């Protein structure tokens, strides 16, 4: 029996909306989400552009956050709901316009990228996926509405590096076709000029943001295979077989089908190998980055239908491999997401605010990622200091990249503890439990003629431990 696309869409999208909305209600932003909010709050637009070379992204998401962040409005829901809307529109557009059957669309909708990562984690990626889908859908009518299409390329390129690769190829094709059409007088001079102004401005903005990116921040590329394997090959034999089969089809079957159109073939290979180059040589990435490999498979198949209108067997085989891939992606990444969603900044922030000893003390952070507390505490006048920089905590991406702080807490230098301590307040330090090992409730260090002791004060949902710091010129038995 042939599936009714509209009925399946109504059921699937209703389930998707219900569950993803519940998830964002209970989601507490992790570091990268809070970090983007802090940048949007603290910097001007020009400063944000300059900051992008350290972020490895482009400015659109930060620009969208600015009015909410600068007014400190409804954190985190102004951010998470806006991101959710982009993910929702991407899924709806795929259902309404993508040349895929309802089964394939359903598997994509409930896969980890589209059901867990992009709608829940409020970053720049959902809007990038949406814009890639828009560019694929408008491809046939690009010369009828050249200004709109050039604006879509501009927005897509300025969402993230992951989407920039696709926007670059779309821009190349569009510029070439625009010149050919102008020579035949099929495009008005006004549309031609304005479209190229937009494309030129896009190129200038990208060079301004990413030109001279600091390689210090392109780290851990050697961990790509480890992270990629953790994300996709740890959830049982059946899921692994499905995912492996889908990936083999993506790398060996889809290119054969796409070769029927040289444009789609180049688009697909350029984006896949550009992403792999980044992951292998520049930045190891994680699941929200790797998912763009699968997004480009969808976009390329979508584009292919603009060139290949035949109902050929190879197209059906290619779609089967896409379905198998996303079937595997429904299950195989949940285990790797345990830490991805385990941060609890709101709970920790509330504890600090409500605890009279903590909110009147100096609280020291040793982990860069604990800055996800900041958006909850902007107006609380609580003294937070960064162990690495020996300065009040701010959003700075470079904090935590110093040689002092590349190691876990067991290797930090005692002399730096004393430098960051307040002389007229109690001092506490925040640790993540997974970094603590077996130290228990108390431990200490000696530093020249003084002793530094850390005694457990409170634990927060078994994720964080807060220790009271004591400095003495005498050794204290058992650290008490």
Lowest-confidence segment of 91-100, 159-168, 241-250, 370-379 by average pLDDT: 370-379
Segment 405-456, tens digit of pLDDT: 654 555 556 667 778 889 899 999 988 877 666 567 877 777 667 788 889 9
User: In DSSP terms, which residues pair with 468 in a beta bridge?
Assistant: 428, 455
Return the exposure string of 335-354: e unless at least 16 CB atoms fall within 10 Å of the residue's CB, then b. ebbeebbebbbbebbebbee
Q: CA-to-CA distance for 284 and 390, rounded, in angstroms?
A: 29
Say if residue 445 is exposed, middle or buried (CB neighbours under 10 Å; 0-12, 13-18, 19+): middle
Q: Given a cut of 50, is residue 173 above it in pLDDT?
A: yes
Helix axes 313-329, 102-109, angle to 10 degrees: 30
Q: CA-to-CA distance for 158 and 168, rounded, in angstroms?
A: 11
Segment 16-70, tens digit of pLDDT: 999 999 999 989 998 889 999 999 999 999 999 988 888 878 999 999 999 999 9
Segment 376-387, tens digit of pLDDT: 988 888 999 988
- Structure confidence at residue 188 as a pLDDT band (50, 70, 90): very high
107, 321 Cβ separation under 8 angstroms: no
Q: CA-to-CA distance for 5 and 400, rounded, in angstroms?
A: 50
| pLDDT mean over 220-246 | 83
Question: Which 3 state secondary structure label does DSSP give 410?
Answer: helix
In the chain, how long is the greatest CA-to-CA distance? Answer: 89
Q: Under 8 Å CB-to-CB from 68, ≥6 apart: which residues?
A: 40, 74, 75, 78, 79
295, 113 Cβ separation under 8 angstroms: yes
Q: Under 8 Å CB-to-CB from 360, ≥6 apart: which residues?
A: 425, 426
116, 331 Cβ separation under 8 angstroms: no
Q: CA-to-CA distance for 99 and 105, rounded, in angstroms?
A: 9
pLDDT (0 to 100) of residue 407: 46
Q: CA-to-CA distance for 372 and 378, rounded, in angstroms?
A: 11
Tell me which residue has tokens 């491809």: 139
| pLDDT mean over 326-344 | 74
Residue 204's CB is within 10 A of a number of other CB atoms, namely 11
Q: Domain coordinates of the chain in residue numbers?
A: 5-337, 345-479
Segment 103-125, tens digit of pLDDT: 999 999 999 999 999 999 999 99
| CA distances from residue 266 to 150, 261, 272, 440 in whole angstroms, order as listed | 20, 9, 10, 57
Segment 207-222, tens digit of pLDDT: 999 886 554 455 555 6
pLDDT (0 to 100) of residue 394: 79
Q: What mean pLDDT is reported for the chain?
A: 87
- Structure confidence at residue 480 as a pLDDT band (50, 70, 90): very low
- Per cent of the chain over pLDDT 70 is 87
pLDDT (0 to 100) of residue 215: 45
pLDDT (0 to 100) of residue 406: 53
pLDDT (0 to 100) of residue 479: 44
User: In DSSP terms, which residues pair with 459 in a beta bridge?
Assistant: 465
| CA distances from residue 198 to 152, 170, 303 in whole angstroms, order as listed | 10, 14, 23
Phi and psi at 406, nearest 5°, equal: -80, -15
């Amino acid at each position: 029996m042939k599936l009714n696309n509209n009925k399946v869409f109504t059921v699937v999208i209703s389930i998707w909306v219900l569950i993803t909305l519940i998830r964002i209600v209970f989601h507490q932003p992790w570091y990268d989400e809070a970090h983007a909010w802090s940048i949007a709050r603290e910097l001007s637009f020009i400063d944000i552009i300059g900051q992008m070379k350290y972020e490895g992204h482009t400015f659109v998401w930060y620009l969208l956050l600015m009015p909410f962040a600068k007014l400190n409005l409804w954190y985190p829901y102004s951010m998470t709901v806006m991101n959710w809307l982009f993910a929702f529109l991407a899924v709806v557009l795929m259902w309404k316009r993508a040349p895929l059957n309802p089964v394939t669309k359903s598997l994509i909708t409930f896969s980890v990228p589209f059901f867990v990562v992009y709608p829940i984690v409020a970053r720049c990626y959902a809007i990038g996926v949406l814009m890639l889908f828009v560019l694929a859908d408008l491809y046939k009518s690009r010369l009828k509405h050249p200004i709109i299409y050039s604006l879509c390329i501009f927005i897509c390129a300025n969402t993230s590096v992951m989407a920039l690769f696709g926007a670059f190829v779309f821009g190349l094709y569009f510029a070439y076709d625009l010149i050919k059409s102008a020579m035949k007088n099929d495009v008005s001079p006004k549309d031609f000029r304005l479209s190229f102004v937009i494309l030129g401005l896009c190129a200038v903005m990208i060079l301004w943001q990413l030109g001279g990116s600091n390689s210090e921040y392109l780290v851990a590329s050697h961990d790509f295979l480890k992270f990629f394997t953790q994300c996709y090959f740890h959830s049982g034999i059946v899921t692994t077989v499905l995912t492996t089969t889908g990936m083999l089809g993506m790398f060996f079957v889809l290119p054969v089908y796409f070769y029927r159109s040289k444009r789609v073939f180049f688009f697909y290979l350029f984006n896949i190998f550009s992403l792999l180059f980044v992951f292998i040589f520049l930045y190891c990435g994680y699941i929200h980055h790797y998912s763009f490999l699968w997004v480009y498979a969808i976009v390329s198949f979508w584009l292919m239908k603009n060139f290949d209108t035949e109902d050929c067997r190879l197209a059906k085989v290619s779609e089967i491999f896409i379905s198998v891939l996303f079937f595997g992606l429904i299950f195989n990444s949940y285990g790797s997401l345990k830490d991805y969603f385990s941060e609890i900044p709101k709970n920790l922030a509330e504890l600090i605010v409500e605890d009279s000893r903590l909110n009147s003390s100096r609280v020291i952070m040793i982990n860069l990622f604990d800055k996800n507390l900041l958006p909850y505490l902007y107006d609380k006048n609580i003294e937070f200091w960064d162990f690495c920089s020996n300065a009040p905590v701010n959003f700075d991406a470079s904090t935590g990249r110093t040689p002092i702080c590349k190691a876990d807490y067991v290797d930090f230098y005692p002399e730096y503890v004393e430098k960051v301590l307040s002389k007229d307040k109690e001092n506490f330090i925040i640790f993540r439990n997974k970094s603590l090992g077996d130290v228990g409730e108390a431990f200490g260090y000696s530093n020249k003629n003084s002793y530094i002791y850390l005694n457990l004060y409170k634990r927060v949902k078994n994720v964080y431990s807060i220790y009271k710091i004591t400095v003495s010129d005498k050794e204290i038995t058992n650290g008490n």
